[in-house]
Amino acid sequence: MGDAALTSQRDPTGEAPGHAPAATFYFPKDFRWGTATSSHQVEGNNTNNDWWAWEQEPGRILNGDKSGLACNWWENAEADFDRTADMGTNAHRLSIEWSRVEPQPGLFDDDALDRYRQMLQALHDRGIEPMVTLHHFTNPLWLAEKGGWEEPSVVTDFRRYVRAVVERLGDLVPLWVTINEPMVYAVQAYLGMGSWPPGKNSLGLVGQVARNMLQAHAAAYHLIHELRPDSQVGIVRHWRILEPSRSSSPLDRWLAGRLHCFFNRYFTDALVTGRLRWPLGGGRMSELAGTFDFLGLNYYTRELVAFDLGHAGGLFARRHFAPGAEMSDDDYGEVYPPGIYQALKLAAAYRRPIYITENGLPDADDDQRPRFILSHLRQVWAALQGNLPIMGYYHWSLIDNFEWDRGWQQRFGLIELDPATQERRLRPSGELYGRICRSGCIDRDMVSQYAPELLDQMFPA
Ligand code: IFM
């Protein structure tokens, strides 16, 4: 999307602006303005899952960090719900920790389910609509010990857990996500050179795990609809923008296309057709076809792909960021706002409502995040002008949290957290996001205050 197409300013609702200055990007009145988190990253003391065990192994997590008390949400998520409500959000995405709800196979913990009930009720009480993810990277130890997602029996196990959760909490949850970023999970855990548990390296296992996830997703989709016909059930995909490193190289172009299919397309295509393609195995899963009411879209960055014969372990792809590009902290990724527009176009091809379930960056000193939010939301606004069915935006993340193998080094929060003292401070980007959520628009004053360098681009004379 070129800049010229992004500068027309009109109210897509067709209503008179009234409350905001003239030069303004308006979002739909019923847009979800949200934040996102996941259980293990914020709750603290999730001692009964495979990530906790992994953190105890020397050398697994950067700087020897541990999730520990995390953001202490198990004790007091409500204080942060107050903070996000003060920001003016009307939606929050959180996940349920399987290992808390089902600490032993078939044995459910009523207290844990009650605690989740309290949290969900607390969100409703603050006018915040919850979106609940059922699997976000972590597995109960008992499941991991019997082979986790490698074993087909995980499908029955997942279904039993989903039943317990939906029976107990379903009346409070309008939007369910079965699994978060299945291909990221499969690749990091089974081709990630030991970065995520169980630390295996096998392309065959990636396919097997992804296939079991598809089947578990389908089982959960049908079960949730049986128990709560009124709810919406989707899946969250991490959309990777993969482009050839050298556009003149046929091999780079070919490989970027292959990787795009591998990461972005085949899994999502299977949800439509029920047909499984490499690396998901072959054949059909008839119960899978059409099992999504919406698509969750996580977008972070763009990667360039160079064909490299010496990189067999990485599927002959050397992935790198654009030379000279603006990078976020820790070289997590290139700041590339047009990528969210590209990802939205890719997702829109699946003809379902889209929720932007994650978007953000690690930026401890917050010198990039205000600009990041404005420039990405501007692209979202442009996609809305093209009638893409975007229902909401959930910023990752509400608060600094435990970033998996990167520990506490990468700070994604609108709220800064000192994990040792549990002190919090709203970052300037949090103030800005609050202004956007409360007004439902981006106006010239916000841009001049938080990212004046964008003024000419967003509001040309
Ligand atoms: O923290 C993660 C999250 O758990 C899944 N999506 C990407 C985020 C940032 O890396």
Whether residue 24 is contained in a domain is answered as: yes
Residue-wise pLDDT for 29-44, tens only, equals 999 999 999 999 999 9
- Answer whether residue 6 shows pLDDT above 70: no
Band (pLDDT 50/70/90 cuts) for residue 14 is: very low
State residue 362's pLDDT score.
98
State residue 326's pLDDT score.
98
Ligand 1 center from residue 300 Cα (angstroms) = 9
Q: Is the peptide bond before 452 cis (omega within 30 degrees of 0)?
A: no
Whether residue 259 is contained in a domain is answered as: yes
Distances from the Cα of 143 to the Cαs of 149, 156, 191, 210, 451, in angstroms?
Answer: 8, 12, 20, 16, 47
- Answer whether residue 3 shows pLDDT above 60: no
- Answer whether residue 281 shows pLDDT above 90: no
Q: Which residue has the tokens 């439902």?
A: 440
State residue 341's pLDDT score.
98
* Count of the separate structural domains present in the chain: 1
| CA 404 to ligand 1: nearest atom | 1
Whether residue 6 is contained in a domain is answered as: no
Q: Which of the listed residues 235, 404, 405, 406 should we mutate to test ligand 1's pocket, taking the one with most ligand atoms within 8 A of CB?
A: 404
| CA 38 to ligand 1: nearest atom | 4
272 exposure class (CB count in 10 Å sphere: 0-12, 13-18, 19+): middle
Q: Which of the listed residues 35, 37, 38, 67 should we mutate to test ligand 1's pocket, taking the one with most ligand atoms within 8 A of CB?
A: 38
Tell me, what DSSP letter sits at residue 98?
H
Question: For 199, left (φ over 0), alpha (ψ -120 to 50), or beta?
Answer: left
Query: Can you give the residue range of the structural domain that contains 198?
Result: 17-458
Residue-wise pLDDT for 59-96, tens only, equals 999 999 999 999 999 999 999 999 999 999 999 999 99
Residue 128, number of CB atoms within 10 A of its CB = 20
How distant is the alpha carbon of residue 19 from its chain centre? Answer: 32
Ligand 1 center from residue 311 Cα (angstroms) = 26
Round to whole Å and give the CA distance between 17 and 15.
6
- Answer whether residue 356 shows pLDDT above 50: yes
State residue 312's pLDDT score.
80
State residue 86's pLDDT score.
98
Whether residue 260 is contained in a domain is answered as: yes
What's the average model confidence in pLDDT over 248-268?
Answer: 96
State residue 199's pLDDT score.
98
- Answer whether residue 11 shows pLDDT above 60: no
SS3 of the chain: helix, strand, coil, percent, to 5: 45, 20, 35
Whether residue 1 is contained in a domain is answered as: no
State residue 7's pLDDT score.
45
Residue-wise pLDDT for 410-451, tens only, equals 999 999 999 999 999 999 999 999 999 999 999 999 999 999
Q: Which residues pair with 299 in a beta bridge?
A: 359
Whether residue 354 is contained in a domain is answered as: yes
User: What is the rounded average pLDDT for all residues in the chain?
Assistant: 95
Residue-wise pLDDT for 141-163, tens only, equals 999 999 999 999 999 999 999 99
Whether residue 12 is contained in a domain is answered as: no
State residue 416's pLDDT score.
99
CATH number at residue 161: 3.20.20.80
From the DSSP assignment, how many helices (H) and strands (E) are in the chain? 16, 15
Residue-wise pLDDT for 303-349, tens only, equals 999 999 988 877 889 989 999 999 999 999 999 999 999 999 999 99
CB of 358 closer than 6 angstroms to any ligand 1 atom: yes
> Which residues, including other chains, have CB under 8 Å from residue 221's CB and lie 6 or more apart?
178, 233, 291, 292
Within 13 Å of residue 397, how many CA atoms lie on the same side as its CB? 22
Whether residue 104 is contained in a domain is answered as: yes
State residue 8's pLDDT score.
41
